[in-house]
Amino acid sequence: IAMKTLLPFACLYILLVSFSGFLFGQTFFGQFSISASLAGIAGFICAFAGFGVTGGAIKARPIAFWSSLLALIGVAFDAADYYLNYAIPGNYYAWGLIGPYCGAALFVAYVSRSLMRTT
């Protein structure tokens, strides 16, 4: 039950980074990236499904689980693309923002998966 109280905060952070980091960042810099789009859109789905899990929606649990994994796959591909194509000394791919994003997505996946086992 304590995990379900922390879930909305993780979902809010995922929503913030999905919009401002992955989706708006593409518009702002004028570059389209499939992997960043995957991370952003799957993050949006993960966040809203996570809010549904918090509210007790049973059908939102697998959606939250799989979309969080898709968001993590998108981050992995985006980081690989970043380090392969923009290998400039000092670049660190903004892990200060994206690291907690990955942690929050893992938390949503863990909570939704553990709730899928109970019912």
Residue 2 has pLDDT above 90, yes or no: no
pLDDT, residue 115, reads 86
d(CA 89, CA 62): 40
Name the range with the highest mean pLDDT among 70-74, 80-84, 87-91.
Answer: 70-74
Provide the mean pLDDT of the chain: 90
Residue 1 has pLDDT above 60, yes or no: no
d(CA 45, CA 14): 10
Percent of the chain with pLDDT over 90: 63
d(CA 59, CA 70): 18
